[in-house]
Chains A and B, each alone.
Chain A
C-alpha cells in the first residue's frame, strides 16, 4: 500500500513535469517582493506593483506563460545564472558590473535619481554613516565614490528603519522607493543632493538567452503605444521621467 502511494506520488510529480515540458514556454519571473512600488507583496499575499503589472503585460504581448518567483535580493543574480528562474524583474538598474555576469533587455524605466533621506539636514556626506541595501548600485556608489561609511542591510525596509532608530545618518536608495515613505513620515526628509547612479531599470536574463529579443520587442511595443508611459505615471506619480 505504502509503495502504491509512493508510486502514485512519483507519477504525479513526473506527470506535472511532463505537462510543463510539453508547454515548454513557462517563463519564471524572479523578483524581490520587498520594494514598493516596484514590486511588493500586497495585503492579499500576492506579488504586486509596477513590475508585476508590467511583467504580466509583457508576457501577454509575447504570448508567454509566466510564473512569479520570489527571491532575496542579495542572491537574485546567482539564482538567475544557476537557472532557478529565467528573468530578473526587480527594479534592477543596468550597469557594467552586472552586465559582465548577466544580459539586460532595454530599459523599461528611464534613469532616475537616487536620494538621501535622513532625520536632519545638517549631514555632511564625508564621514556620515549611510545605510543602503546590499548589492545595490547605491551601496557601491557610497563605498567607492564618497567618503561616507556604508552600512548594508538585506532588505530595503531595514535601511529606512536604520535611519529611524539613529543607526545611520541617512539612507541612500531610489527616489521612487523613498519618496512615498518620506511623504508619510514627518520625521524624515530628503537631504543632500540627488545623484543619478543607474543606467535605467531593465530586465536581467542569462547571457545569450533568446528571451532577451522577445522581451525587447514587447517593451518596444509598449513604449510605442504609450502604455508603458501610462503605467509609469500610474505607479510613480506625475513627475516621473517617461519615454
Chain B
C-alpha cells in the first residue's frame, strides 16, 4: 500500500506494522467484517418477519395455523443453535438439489445416497459447478442467512407473542366497542402498541444475533474468525511478513470488536426505548408524561 513497503525486512517496527496491517491479506480480513454487517442487516428484518408471522399464527383462531406457529417456536427454541446451523444448511442444500434432481433427471437410476455421499446428477447441482466462484459464495451466504432467520425468527416469534398479550386488554375491548373487526383491532390497536413491550426482548435477541455471527465460520464462510485464525497463525520467512503465533492478538481484536459493537447497540436501543415509550400506557411512558407536565 505504501511505497516503502517493497522491502519489509529493512523497516522499523512502526513502518513494518503499517505495511503488515495494510497488505492484501489484511484487506480481506477487513472485508470479512462487512460480511458480518451484511449478515446482520439482512438477517434482522427477515427474522423479525418470521417472528411476526409466527406470533400472529400462534394467536390465530384457526387451529392448524396455531399449531404451526406454536410448533415452530417451540421446536426451534428447544434445539441448540449450533445443531440447527449444521443441520439446516445441510438440509436446505440437499433438499434443493434433491428437488431439482427429481425435476431435471427423471431417468436417473443410481441411488442418491451412497455411503457418506449425496450424489445428484450434474444438472441438479446447486449452484452449477460451472458457475463462477461468487455465485457459490452468494449461495452459501444465502443458505446461512435463511438458517439464521429460521432460528432467530422463532425467538422473535416468542417475544412478539408475549408482547401482543401484554397490550392492556382494555385497549382491545375499547376497539371492539367502537365496532372494529378483529383484523382492524389487530393492525390498528394491537400491533402499534405491542412494540414497546417487545423491545426489551427484541434487543436481547439482537445482542444474541450479533454474538452468533461467528457461527458463519462453522458453515465454511470466510468470516472474521476464519481470517483471524488464518492471519494469526505463525508465519515463516516464506511470507513477506514473518511472525510467531499471534492468534492471541487477533482474537483479542475480535473480542474488542464484538464488545464495542454490542455496546453501541445497547446505547442505540436505549434511545429507541425512550422514543417508543413516549405516550404509551406503560410505566416509562407515564413517567415521561408526568415529567413533562
Contacts and interface: CB of A to CB of B under 8 A. Distances in A.
A31 interface: no
A43 interface: yes
Contacts of B241: 43
A55 to B, nearest CB: 15
Contacts of A184: 236-237, 242
Interface stretch (A20-28, A143-151, A215-223): A20-28
B127 interface: yes
A34 B128 contact: no
A86 B129 contact: yes
B24 A16 contact: no
B135 interface: yes
B293 to A, nearest CB: 44
Interface residues of B, number: 36
A157 B233 contact: yes
Nearest to B28: A45
B130 interface: yes
B24 A45 contact: yes
B239 interface: yes
A44 B24 CA distance: 4
A41 B239 CA distance: 9
Given A26-B130, A41-B25, A155-B229, A71 B125 contact: no
A88 to B, nearest CB: 14
A164 B245 contact: yes
Given A46-B24, A157-B233, A83 B238 contact: no
Q: How large is the interface on A (under 10, 10 to 19, 20 to 34, 35 or more residues)?
A: 35 or more
A21 B131 CA distance: 7
A81 B119 contact: yes
Interface string A68-92: 0111100100100111111000000
A37 interface: yes
A184 B132 CA distance: 39
Interface in A31-80: 33-34, 36-37, 40-46, 67, 69-72, 75, 78
A83 B245 CA distance: 35
Interface string B120-161: 001001011111110110000000000000000000000000
Nearest to B125: A83
Contacts of B15: none
B66 to A, nearest CB: 32
B23 interface: yes
A36 B235 CA distance: 9
A128 interface: no
Interface in A160-193: 160-161, 164, 180-181, 183-184
Given A26-B130, A85-B129, A41 B230 contact: yes
A7 B239 CA distance: 45
B28 A17 contact: no
Given A20-B131, A81-B117, A42 B242 contact: no
A195 B235 CA distance: 25
The 4 A-B pairs of least Cβ separation, nearest first, read A44-B24, A157-B233, A45-B24, A45-B28
Given A26-B132, A40-B239, A83-B125, 15 more contacts: A21-B130, A41-B230, A42-B24, A42-B25, A67-B132, A69-B133, A69-B136, A71-B220, A72-B220, A81-B117, A82-B118, A157-B245, A164-B245, A180-B237, A183-B236
